[in-house]
Amino acid sequence: MSETFPASGAAAVTASDTTELGPCRALYVGGAGNVVVQMPNRDTSITFSSVPAGTILPVMARRVMAATTATSIVALY
């Protein structure tokens, strides 16, 4: 499937240092805060700081880490 197609699935995310997401195509952030993720094929984390509520982060993430302060995150597939 081409990456230009919209998401065809979604799942609520609970931030965890061990839960694998899949990886997803993007993350919807419902409540503002920092989003800490691990990208596919990476063991280090990256922090997206001060993400506003209602943002779609166009990143493939394999984990949303427990240090995340944003809320109501949905993985888009």
How far apart are the C-alpha atoms of 41 and 39, rounded to whole Å?
A: 6
User: E-assigned strands of 1-77?
Assistant: 10-12, 26-31, 33-38, 45-51, 55-57, 63-64, 71-76
Query: For the whole prediction, is pTM greater than 0.75?
Result: yes
| pLDDT tens, position by position, 5-34 | 889 999 999 999 999 998 899 999 999 999
